[in-house]
Amino acid sequence: MRLTIRDLSKTYPNGVRALRGVDLTIDAGMFGLLGPNGAGKSTLMRTIATLQEPDRGAIDLGGLDVLRNKPAVRERLGYLPQEFGLYPNLSAEHVLDHFAVLKGITDARERRAQLEFLFEQTNLGAARKLAVGGFSGGMKQRLGIAIALLGAPRLIIVDEPTAGLDPTERHRFLNLLSDIGHDVIVILGTHIVEDVAELCPKFAILAGGEIVYTGAPEAGVAELRGRLWRRVVAKAELPELAARLHVISTRLVTGRPVVHVHHFEAPGPGFEPVAPDLEDVYFYHITRATRLAARAA
């Protein structure tokens, strides 16, 4: 199964260009879609999920033209949106059963079997009779993924699923995602770099509606090896450094700013080499795109 996206563009009526000629090829397995707030991740995922129209472009799912065969795509799709409401007084079992019917699983025995399996998989068995209004954020997200997994979808899209979860629930959720079959395409949209580092053999970075990087996390890290430098700086130095060098990030380490700079050799006294990680890859490509856009303007 392969998902191919070609030249996908979307401008909202207010003039925001949310997607600008997006090209992506996504094979079975976990695929991370990483980008800052407003990058266009939700727009891209909603378009793949047939919930909104692009202005231009094509999407193909294993030979199926997604934009022209929406009902057929929906049969193969599981989608966990960023925000979703559930009737708070209904039990988890009632909710899941209801969505199973909507998904077209009309045979009662088949529906029972799927509910058993999904409550087991999402570790919500003990809570199935409880009203969802009392669920924690993590339980709600796990119920959301159970809903998305109904009907054994071939394409699963989850939008920012770990935002707001505590570390225990976040790990539980990521483990759950990693257990989904390997012959299924799972697109994980997130702004959390560690989610991608922990789960995704392939990923893309979306910034300003454009794909600015796509590949394997290790390849992205390898490209930066030997080109990354760090230095503890005074806050007052930052503007001058940023004007002169490609500063990819400024982090506070025990209250003092530490810059990471992309440069082919040591950029000056006091800089020491640093081994890149995926966060550096993310910041490098985001800042590079911003610099290129500023130069073109």
Q: Which residues bind ligand ATP (CB under 6 A)?
A: 12, 14, 16, 18, 35, 37-43, 191
Q: Pick the closest to residue 145 from 182, 173, 114 (CA basis).
A: 173
Give the CA distances from residue 154 to residues 80, 93, 105, 187, 193, in Å, rounded to whole numbers and listed in that order.
14, 23, 16, 11, 25
Between CA 66 and CA 49 the distance in angstroms is 9
156 pairs with which residues across the strands?
78, 186
Residue 127 or 158: the one with the smaller Cβ distance to ligand ATP is 158
Between CA 93 and CA 190 the distance in angstroms is 28
Report in angstroms how near the CB of residue 79 gets to ligand ATP at its nearest. Answer: 14
3-class DSSP assignment, residue 205 = strand
Residue 97 or 159: the one with the smaller Cβ distance to ligand ATP is 159
Report in angstroms how near the CB of residue 40 gets to ligand ATP at its nearest. Answer: 4
Residue 35 or 217: the one with the smaller Cβ distance to ligand ATP is 35
Residue 13 or 63: the one with the smaller Cβ distance to ligand ATP is 13
Structure tokens belonging to residue 266: 């040591």
φ and ψ at residue 273, rounded to 5 degrees = -65, 150
Report in angstroms how near the CB of residue 13 gets to ligand ATP at its nearest. Answer: 7
Report in angstroms how near the CB of residue 206 gets to ligand ATP at its nearest. Answer: 7
Residues constituting the chain: 297
Report in angstroms how near the CB of residue 45 gets to ligand ATP at its nearest. Answer: 8
Structure tokens belonging to residue 41: 């991740």
Between CA 179 and CA 197 the distance in angstroms is 16
Residue 160 or 198: the one with the smaller Cβ distance to ligand ATP is 160
